[in-house]
Amino acid sequence: MSAACPACASLPPPTGVSPGGPTHILHLPDIHCGGCIASVERALNDLPGVASARVNLSLKRVAVQAAALDAQTMIDALAAAGHRAERLDAARLGAADPAARNLLTRIGVSGFALMNVMLLSVAVWSGATGATAQIFHLVSAAIAIPAVAYAGQPFFRSALQALSAARLNMDVPISLAIVLASAASLASAFGFSDRAGWFDAALALTFFLLVGRYLDHRGRAAARSAAAELAALEAPQARRIEGGAERIVAAGALRPGDLIRLRPGDRLPADGTIVSGRTDLDRSVLTGESRPDPAGPGDPVTAGEISLTGLLTVRVDRAGRDTALARIAEIVATAESQRSRFTGLADRAARIYAPAVHVLGAVTFVGWMLATGDGWRALDIAISVLVITCPCALGLAVPAVSTVATARLFRAGILVKSRTALERLSQIDCVAVDKTGTLTTGTPRLSADMPADALAVAAGLAGGSSHPVSRAIVAAAAARGVVPAAIDAVCEHPGDGIEGLHRGRPVRLGRGAWVGAPEGMSTWLAGAGDRPVPLTTVETLDSGAVALFRGLREAGYRVALLSGDVPEAVSDIAARLGIDEASGGMSPPDKVAWIEDRARNGARVLMVGDGLNDTASLAASHASIAPGRALDAARNAADVVLLSGGLKGIPTILATARSAVVRMRQNIGIALVYNAVAVPLAMAGFATPLWAALAMSGSSLAVTLNAVRSTR
C-alpha cells in the first residue's frame, strides 16, 4: 500500500478496495503517534483478506474492511506488531448522529456571511451615504437573508416547538430578535426607512449562539460515544453446544432451550438452569456478597454471575433482553429519566430571562411610539433592545465552562456522562460507597500466618483451582517462598473444596462442614496435621480506597458504606478505612431507602457503586459514580464513570465540579452586568448597530475567556 516515489503514486489504486462501511472496528487503547498509525495499518493491510484499514487516532480506533476475517485474527496480527487491540461491537456503538456536522456547517455559513457583512458594514459605519450605503445594504441583504434563513433554523424550530406548547424558552426571544432585525433591515435596504441596518447583528447573534450550542452538543456527544464504546467493548459471547460440538456465538444470538457450556471463570451470558456440573458461583455483581455460593444441577443461574470452579452445562431459559439483568437495567433507565427533572443553572437563568426580554422590548416600542409617534424609530430601538439583551453571553456561559471542565476530567480518565452532572456533583455533602467490587478488588488474600508445611499442602491442593481463595493461597505461598507440596490424585469438588493424597494420606481443603470442622466464614485444611487448620481470607482493598477516604474526610464530606455483603465483612472493611457509618446485608431496595431517607433530611447523596445491586441506588441518588470495571447497567445509571485512575479521582471530580459551578455563576454574572449596562442605553435609544456588535462580541469573548482561564 505504500509508495515512496511520485511515479508509484500515479499507479492505479490496488484492486479489492470496494466502497462500503467497515466490517470490523477495533479499539487501540495504546496508540499515540504517526508511527503507530503506520505500523497498525501496515500490519492489517498485510493480512490476506483485508480490503482496507484506516486508523482514527482521535478516537483510538481502526476501521477494517474485511468481510471474510474474524476479529481475533486481526487482534493477533496487531499483537505480533506490538499493539494491544480490543474488539468493539459495531452494533453497540450505534450510528453517529449527523447533528454535530450539521451544526458545524451552520456555524460556517453564518461565520462567512458575518465576515462579509461586517466588511460592508464597516464602510457604512465609517460614513458611506446615499447610493453607496444603499448598495451596501442591498448586498448585505443578499448575503444575510439566506444565511440567517439557513443557519438560524435550530433556533426557529425550537422556538416554534415551545410556542406550540404555549411555553417560552430562550429560543423565542432569539428567533424574534433575529427575524425582526433582518426584516427591519431589509425594509431599510429597499428604502422604506432610512434607519441603520442590523444585518451584522442578526448574523453575529446566530453565529455566537450556534457556537454555544455546538459546544453543548459536542460535550454530550463525546460522553455518549465514550459510554457506547465502553458497552461495545464487552460484547458478551457464549459457547453453544451444537450437535456435540461447541461454537462461540454472540450472547444476543442465544435462544431459550439452547445448551451452553461454561468454563471456570466465565460470566454467564443468559439466565438458565444448570443441567450438569457443580461449581461455585460468584454472585457479587448481583448481591454484593463477596463469598461464592455453591451450585449444582437444577439450580437456577442468572446472567452476570461468574462460574468459578467447575465446568457447567446450562440450559438457557431467558436470553438477551429478557434476562433479569437486562430487565433491571431497563427499569433503571426509566428511573433515570426522573433525574432529568433537575433544572440546571442555564435553564433557570433562561426561565427568568426570556419573559424579561420580551417585556423590555415591548415596553421600549410602546414608550417610543407614544413619545415620538414615529413607528420606524420605535421599531428600530425595540430591535436594538432585543438584539442587545439577546443572550449570546448567557448562551455560552454554561456550555463553555462545562466543556472545559469535562475535557479536563476526561484527560484524567474520568468520563462525565450527564449534562447536569457537574452542577449536581457540586451540591453533594454525603458520599455513600458500595463495598464489593467498588472498594475491594475481587481477589482476597490470606490474613493470618500459618505453619509453612500446612501452607505448602494447601498451596499444592489449590494450585489447579481458579476459586478466589485457592488463588489467594497460591499467592500467599509464593510471597513467603513456600514451595507447594506434591499432591497426588487432586480432585476438585465444586461447591465443597479440593481433595487429594499427600504422602499417602488424604487431605482436604474446603468448606468447614465438608472437611469435618465447624461451619463458618473461613476455609479449612484437614488431614495435614492433627486437627483442621483454618485459612482466613480478607478482601483486598482497591489501591485508591485509602486515599479516597482521606481526601473525602479532609474535604469535609460525610461518608457511609452500604453493602449487600455479610455484616462481618463490611465492618472489617469499614474499620480498615476508618468509616464510622457502615451497614451490611443491605438489599437493593434497602440502599434506595437509605438514600431517600437521607434526601428527605436534606442531604445530597453521591452514590459510588459497581454492581447490579447498586444500579437502583445509583439512579436514586442525587449524583452517582461508577468505576470503569462496573457492570454495564451500573455504568449506564451513573453520571460519571471512572475510566482509569481509579477511586482516587473522586475528590478531584468533586473539586472540579465545585469550581466549574463557581465559574458558571461568574459567567452568568458577567452576562447580567453587561445587560445591566447595555439595556438602559439601548432603551434610551443610544445603541447603534456598531455598538451592539462590539458589546455582543465583547461579552461573548469575556465569558469564553473566563471559562478557559486556568484555576491557578
Q: Which residues bind other proteins (CB under 8 A)?
A: 1-4, 8-9, 13-14, 17, 19-22, 33-34, 37-38, 52, 54-59, 63, 65, 95-98, 100-101, 104-105, 108-109, 112, 115-116, 119-120, 132, 135, 139, 143, 221, 225
Q: Which is nearer to other proteins, 133 or 174 (CB)?
A: 133
Q: Which is nearer to other proteins, 20 or 669 (CB)?
A: 20
Which is nearer to other proteins, 125 or 342 (by Cβ)?
Answer: 125
CB of 21 to other proteins, least distance (A): 5
Strand order through the sheet with 52-56: 52-56, 61-65, 24-27, 86-88
The least distance separating other proteins from the CB of residue 7, rounded to whole angstroms, comes to 11
The residue among 225 and 522 lying less far from other proteins, judged by its C-beta, is 225
Q: In angstroms, what is the minimal distance from the CB of 582 to other proteins?
A: 44
- Least distance to other proteins, CB of residue 357, Å: 31
Looking at the Cβ atoms of 8 and 165, the one nearer to other proteins is 8
Nearest to 260 by CA among 234, 89, 251: 251
Q: Which of 258, 271, 280, 434 is catalytic?
A: 434
Torsion sign, CA atoms 582, 588, 591, 597 = negative
The distance of closest approach from Cβ of residue 163 to other proteins in the complex, given in angstroms and rounded to an integer, is 31
CB 136, min distance to other proteins, A: 8
Residue number with CB closer to other proteins (5 or 166): 5
- How far is Cα 256 from Cα 259, in angstroms, rounded to an integer? 9
Judge contact between 87 and 75, C-beta under 8 A.
yes
Whole-number Å distance between alpha carbons of 350 and 267: 48
Alpha carbons 384 and 689: distance in angstroms, whole number: 8
DSSP states along 522-554 = SEEEESSSSS-EEE-EEEEEPTTHHHHHHHHHH
303 in Cβ contact with 321 (< 8 Å): no
Which grid coordinates belong to 277? 456440573
Q: How far is the CB of 25 from other proteins (least distance, A)?
A: 9
Question: How large is the angle between the packed helices 345-372 and 649-683, nearest 10 degrees?
Answer: 0
Q: Which of 346, 386, 116, 354 is nearest to 213 (CA)?
A: 346
In angstroms, the CA 154 to CA 23 distance is 34
Our CB check for other proteins shows the closer of 140 and 675 to be 140
Q: Are strands 581-583 and 558-562 parallel, antiparallel or unpaired?
A: parallel
Beta bridge partners of 535: 523
CB-based contact 668:394 (threshold 8 Å): yes
Q: Which residue, 14 or 49, has its beta carbon nearer to other proteins?
A: 14
Minimum distance, C-beta of residue 283 to other proteins, in the bound complex (Å): 39
237-242 and 61-65: which strand pairing? unpaired
User: Residue 68 is placed in which grid cell?
Assistant: 471474510
Could you tell me if 57 and 39 are in contact, meaning their C-beta atoms sit under 8 angstroms apart?
no
Whether 488 is catalytic: no
Tell me how long the chain is.
712
Q: Which of 291, 646, 267, 289 is nearest to 472 (CA)?
A: 291
Mind telling me the catalytic residues? 434
